[in-house]
Structure 1
Amino acid sequence: MVNTRALITSLDDHELDVLAQSYRLATCASEHRELSINCTDLLKPELAMPFLQKVGAFWETDSMTAIVSLFAKRYAYLTIAAGLYAMSRYNKGMDLALNNSSLESHIQGEAWLPKVLLGNREVSCPLEGKRNEWRDEVIQRMFADNLATVWAALSNMSGVSQAVLWENTAIYVYWLYENQFAEGADEQERQQIEADYRYLVQDAPAHLFAQRTNPLQKFDSPKRVTAVSNTPIRVRKTCCFYYLAADEPDDYCPTCPKLKHG
């Protein structure tokens, strides 16, 4: 991760503990190897499809459309949660590029809870006056150098639109910044969190996501009360296909565009 805009350092014990306990950062390989995978192998249909079929058993569905979308939600979270938190709270950049990441399977009861393990665990800190440029590099590694490549591959394998996969990603960015990251933060940290969030959803250039437009901006919309929700919600633009794996037919997510929100 050597560059001219940052110093190389490491996470301290407290930071590592927070990221491990709250944001799905693995500190060692999982014993469940049949449900773990090097992230670069997600680009190979002969490895990715059997892996996804095994994962699909946790959701009790044979629908590859549902499996890919539900997997994408989990993969998006474990790819961005720790990295964005470290960036916005600790001013530290983790290397979440695809070739530095592996998905480690953890099972809790009947739930599959994957984590991300990094090969190179060094982190970067921006040099004085270089935070904006450094931030672009951190964002590019996790979005353009990881998620964009995986979403393109999964879309080609399954036929699931990349728009669905990107909106699955966007909803976690919104939720993390709006509900999680500011907890326990002081005023200066809150300002940095808000500035990073605003940049991600409003100003970040499309090339940081390897897309023609910023997908986080594309799927952002004002929260509103609807006919199916008394609490203001951000109605999705795409359906995530959760209903294909639900216990009851037509059991849609509260924010699903298939519902009559009015």
Structure 2
Amino acid sequence: MTHLTEQEEAFMQNHFRYLSKATNEESLEIIYGSELLTKQGLQEKLDEIHAFMESQFFLTTASIFSKRYSYYIVTGIIAMMSSFNKCPDFRPENIRLVRMDEDKKWFPKLNFVSKEATVPDPFDRQRWLRENLTELFKEHVRPLFLHINQLSRLSMNVLWENFAIYLFWFYERYAKEHFTEEQLAQVYDDFHFIVHELDGASFGEEKNPFHYFHYQPKLPSGARERKCCCLSYKLNEESGYCKVCPHRC
């Protein structure tokens, strides 16, 4: 067991929506991961977010929430595993989403209560990857997605693709702009492992959901065209289609 260093947290804070220290005086809203463990708790938070965003469509609220949460898991957990060989404590009770502004698009920042993290055995890194990712996807992400699905009827395909777009963004577009060749070798190995070597059981699904979306065509920007619409265009009258929306491409 080790801890995230100040330098690692500074990297996260400078590059992603991460907050190293959260104080009640500065925050406008704090959502604790433990509040999302039950359908009732999640329903209450979705209702609050729905009202804050002035959303006109609850299905869209649910989809946007899942996109935000997926972003935090990718950048706060998975990216740290590939970048620094550390897996932060991702138990729901260790996660806080801290809103610092009144932006109606709702972009809180991720904060870890404890900075503890695990590191791999230097001779068996793949086992560390598999065990942590299986726990992350099967015991953390999927149960949350199931609650969202049951409360909003947003399909599991949309939910998993909401996660996949950030996973692909980090590994296929972001990483090559910010890491050395030596670092990229491990980053790309991890990406291949996540998409092609983890089986469905690691997700609590019949098949690996990311493998399904990995064959979507790439746009000139390098982003992958979505297979399913995330419904963000229905947030309000001023909303439009995402740049990777299948209705737009």
Q: After TM superposition, is the score higher than 0.5? A: yes
Counterpart-to-counterpart distance in 2, 1:86 and 1:65:
31
Distance apart, 1:17 and its partner CA: 0.7
Q: Residues 184 and 62 (structure 1 numbering): CA distance in 2 closer, same or farther, change over 3 Å?
A: closer
Counterpart-to-counterpart distance in 2, 1:247 and 1:13:
42
Equivalent of 2:11 in 9, 18, 33 = 18
Higher mean displacement: 52-61 or 208-217: 52-61
Distance apart, 1:196 and its partner CA: 0.6
Paired position in structure 2 for 1:256 = 245
Distance apart, 1:114 and its partner CA: 1.7
Amino acid at match of 2:245: C
Contact 1:20–1:26 (CA<8 Å) still a contact in 2? yes
Contact 1:80–1:142 (CA<8 Å) still a contact in 2? no
Amino acid at match of 1:17: A
Paired position in structure 2 for 1:220 = 214
Counterpart-to-counterpart distance in 1, 2:15 and 2:38:
30
Q: Residues 77 and 232 (structure 1 numbering): CA distance in 2 closer, same or farther, change over 3 Å?
A: closer
> 3-state DSSP class of the match of 2:246?
coil
Higher mean displacement: 27-36 or 181-190: 27-36
Paired position in structure 2 for 1:60 = 54
Counterpart-to-counterpart distance in 2, 1:48 and 1:224:
34
Q: Which runs of 4+ in 1 moved over 6 A?
A: none
Contact 1:98–1:145 (CA<8 Å) still a contact in 2? no
Paired position in structure 2 for 1:74 = 68
1:137 aligns with 2:131: yes
1:39 aligns with 2:33: yes
Counterpart-to-counterpart distance in 2, 1:222 and 1:164:
14
Q: Residues 224 and 25 (structure 1 numbering): CA distance in 2 closer, same or farther, change over 3 Å?
A: closer
Q: Deviations over 1:67-111 (max 9, x none)?
A: 000111001111221212211111111121334323222326555
Amino acid at match of 2:244: T
Counterpart-to-counterpart distance in 2, 1:218 and 1:236:
11
Q: Residues 158 and 13 (structure 1 numbering): CA distance in 2 closer, same or farther, change over 3 Å?
A: same
Q: Deviations over 1:103-134 (max 9, x none)?
A: 22232655522223333321122122110001
Counterpart-to-counterpart distance in 2, 1:139 and 1:241:
28
Q: Deviations over 1:203-237 (max 9, x none)?
A: 11222222221111111124345xxxx65652212
Q: Residues 136 and 67 (structure 1 numbering): CA distance in 2 closer, same or farther, change over 3 Å?
A: same
Counterpart-to-counterpart distance in 2, 1:120 and 1:231:
37
Which is strand-richer, 1 or 2? 1
1:167 aligns with 2:161: yes
Paired position in structure 2 for 1:150 = 144
Let me know the Cα RMSD of the aligned residues: 2.4
Mark the runs of 5 or more structure 2 residues left unpaired by the alignment: none
Mark the runs of 5 or more structure 1 residues left unpaired by the alignment: 1-7
Distance apart, 1:33 and its partner CA: 7.0
Counterpart-to-counterpart distance in 2, 1:183 and 1:91:
19
Q: TM-score, normalised by structure 1?
A: 0.84
Contact 2:4–2:88 (CA<8 Å) still a contact in 1? no
Contact 1:168–1:240 (CA<8 Å) still a contact in 2? yes
Equivalent of 2:230 in 214, 236, 240 = 240
Distance apart, 1:238 and its partner CA: 1.2
Counterpart-to-counterpart distance in 1, 2:151 and 2:229:
19
